[in-house]
């Protein structure tokens, strides 16, 4: 966790609006993306290309510990660009339309066959993002990615993983403030 926080904190410090003197609540979420929905072409079990923002987060960093399937990327858009497709963000969390002027986050570097530790950080209040699973991937490529992941020690058919690290300024009304005041778990200065 310390190495993840070290990487995320470096990215957060580069964002506008981060105050190093303010205490933030920190949340970590880990998710593996399984490939079964790619093989069946159903998308079952995949996060899907749904535009969203993270709940209760002011800033977000996403680290991809591994990705074995080319084309399994994320897409970012500013709130203004997003609202061209969904005015007023009324369908946020359900909207899957394609937008212009977005940024693609490659989880495998150009020229590589696998990715380890690619990352991005952004202001969650001003950004919308979505996963872009390669629904048109060839079955052989998906199966090869599953084998590569298993050879690396992944216990399921996950071909990509992501760790979301969320920041939210601490406040007396925040739920974290009601937890036991033991070790400073869940709180940090950036």
pLDDT (tens digit per residue) in 76-115: 999 999 999 999 999 998 998 999 999 999 999 999 999 9
Across residues 2-16, what is the average pLDDT?
91
- % of the chain exceeding 70 in pLDDT: 86
Q: How far is Cα 105 from Cα 60, in angstroms, rounded to an integer? A: 14
Asked, for residue 181, whether it belongs to a domain, the answer is no
Asked, for residue 139, whether it belongs to a domain, the answer is yes
Residue burial 69-92, b: 16+ Cβ < 10 Å; e: rest: bbebbbbbbbeebbbebbeeeeeb
pLDDT at 1: 79
pLDDT at 31: 85
pLDDT at 20: 86
Asked, for residue 175, whether it belongs to a domain, the answer is no
Query: Among residues 12, 131, 122, which one has the least CA distance to residue 78?
Result: 122
Asked, for residue 186, whether it belongs to a domain, the answer is no
How many domains, the chain?
1
Which residues are paired to 74 by β-bridges? Answer: 105, 131
pTM: 0.83
Asked, for residue 15, whether it belongs to a domain, the answer is yes
pLDDT at 134: 87
pLDDT at 183: 44
Asked, for residue 183, whether it belongs to a domain, the answer is no
Residue 136: pLDDT band with limits 50, 70, 90: confident
Task: Answer whether residue 179 shows pLDDT above 60.
Answer: no
Tokens standing for 176? 């974290």
Structural domain of 17: 2-170
Half-sphere exposure of 145 (CA within 13 A, CB side): 29
39 sits in which H/E element: helix 36-39
pLDDT at 184: 47
Asked, for residue 123, whether it belongs to a domain, the answer is yes
């Amino acid at each position: 966790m310390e190495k993840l926080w070290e990487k995320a904190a470096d990215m957060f410090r580069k964002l506008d609006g981060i105050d190093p003197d303010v205490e933030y609540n920190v949340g970590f979420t880990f998710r593996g993306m399984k490939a079964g929905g790619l093989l069946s072409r159903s998308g079952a079990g995949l996060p899907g290309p749904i535009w969203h923002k993270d709940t209760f987060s002011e800033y977000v960093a996403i680290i991809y510990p591994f990705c074995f399937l080319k084309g399994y990327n994320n897409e970012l858009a500013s709130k203004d660009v997003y609202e061209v497709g969904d005015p007023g963000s009324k369908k946020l969390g359900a909207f899957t339309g394609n937008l212009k002027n977005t940024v693609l986050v490659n989880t495998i570097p150009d020229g590589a066959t696998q990715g380890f530790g690619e990352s991005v950080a952004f202001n969650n209040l001003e950004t919308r993002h979505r996963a872009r699973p390669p629904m048109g991937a060839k079955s052989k490529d998906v199966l090869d990615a599953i084998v590569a992941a298993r050879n690396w020690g992944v216990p399921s058919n996950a071909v990509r993983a992501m760790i979301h690290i969320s920041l939210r300024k601490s406040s007396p009304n925040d739920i974290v403030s009601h937890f036991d005041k033991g070790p400073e778990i869940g709180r940090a200065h950036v």
